[in-house]
A and B are shown apart, each in its own frame.
Chain A
Amino acid sequence: MNHPTSAELFEFMDRRLGEKRAGEIAAHVASCDQCRRRVALERSTRNIVRSEFLVKAPAGLSSSIMVNLGTPSRDSLALRILSKGGAVVAMLIVLSVIGFVIAQVSNAPDNSEATTSPVTKFISPLSDLFTTGTQSFIDRSSAISQTIESKAAPEFWKTLCFVILAIGILAAADRVFGKRFIKLRS
């Protein structure tokens, strides 16, 4: 018997051939090394595609879809608190730790160099840097805000600041509520 064509062999493997022809091809494959390899390659291909090409949907897709539909899913609130609120909580924890460390360092008695612990020696400059940096940021922010508030500030800058603020609020709302308040790309 001649080798079955590729189309025929595929149909044989898909069980779409008549009983008689399927029997003939099965007998041929059993005795033909070349056709046995053709069948083996096709089966291996199927198995590999099954194991390698299933893509996991991103976490939160379901909640996002339900929010888009205006129908929050049953667990969406918890998920949203975990995913969106998690960042805020983490930030608060970090700030609390920094605040605690600064308070400890500031309240520590001003002992001599010899009695200062290595931890304090390490944290002190960091604490100063943080305090100075924060103060500088606050000073600079109030200076900018005063400039904007003053009548001398051009109308253009006021408008620009307003637009940036509005975009920031919309972007934050976009992240928090999972809705497209602003479309960043077409």
Chain B
Amino acid sequence: MDALPDYEIISRVLSGHTRLFSELVDRHQDRAMSLAMRLLRNREEAEEAVQDSFVRAFKALERFEKRSAFSTWLYRIVYNVCSTALSKRGELFEQTSLEKDDAAIEIPDFSEIPDSVVEGEELKQNVVDAMNELPPIYSGIATMFYLYDLSYEEIVKITGSPLGTVKARLFRARAMLRDGIIRRTGLRELAG
């Protein structure tokens, strides 16, 4: 069964073998969960969002077009469900005001930064902390880009935002991560 591609499973589900949908769930639940966790930052809510997303995907399976991967289509549903949850929570998901200043982002002077900052054990914790500090929209886009290795175009399909917006947000996310890592290391060195 593992050898069956997603498209084949979807065809069989649509032809009446509905129980095969669990195969798709098993394949994609971890990644769907990772995206929901990054966006919502709450395990219980993320589980609910993923469950809701798979139920929606099942009900809308007939509308799935094979122009993109099933995973991309599923992530779009997860993204929308999480976006709604964030809106209900009263958190602003769209943060376009931040993106207007992208041109002003400066390049830190890396000549003063020791190699230990860009490699080594300490970096792992710094990256985790900096990632956790990102606002949901940037954390989500960084997850899609780094963790799922998605292209700009695939992220456009998931978020429904124009390519320019996706590029701007991804750039902002990477710059904020980089600055967060460097700031943490600087602070730790000053403190220690």
Contact = CB atoms under 8 A, between A and B. Distances in A.
A69 B57 CA distance: 11
A48 B57 CA distance: 30
A38 B26 contact: no
A40 B29 CA distance: 31
A69 B29 contact: no
B97 to A, nearest CB: 19
Interface residues of B, number: 49
Contacts of A69: 18, 21, 55, 58
Interface string A1-31: 0010111001000101000000000000000
A58 interface: yes
A78 to B, nearest CB: 13
A57 B50 contact: yes
A55 interface: yes
Contacts of B102: 7
Nearest to B88: A186
What range describes how many residues of A lie at the interface? 35 or more
Contacts of B147: 49-50, 53-54
A6 B37 contact: no
Interface string A82-126: 000000000000000000000000000000000000000000000
A62 B55 contact: no
B12 interface: no
A53 B124 CA distance: 11
Contact of A56 (B26, B33, B174): B33
Interface string A57-92: 110011111101101111110000000000000000
A3 B33 CA distance: 39
Given A41-B117, A46-B146, A49-B131, A62 B105 contact: no
A5 B47 CA distance: 40
Given A5-B107, A45-B146, A49-B142, A65 B51 contact: yes
Nearest to B111: A34
B32 A57 contact: yes
A159 interface: no
B142 A57 contact: no
Contacts of B29: 57, 61-62
Given A3-B107, A49-B142, A55 B19 contact: no
What are the nearest 3 A-B pairs in CB distance?
A: A73-B22, A57-B29, A49-B146
Interface of B: 18-19, 21-22, 25-26, 29-34, 37-38, 46-47, 50-51, 54-55, 58, 102, 105, 107, 109-111, 113, 115, 117-119, 123-124, 127-128, 131, 142-143, 146-147, 152, 170-171, 174-175, 177-178, 181
19 contacts: A6-B174, A16-B152, A35-B110, A37-B117, A40-B119, A41-B178, A41-B181, A44-B119, A44-B123, A49-B142, A49-B146, A52-B124, A54-B31, A56-B30, A61-B50, A62-B29, A66-B22, A68-B55, A71-B22
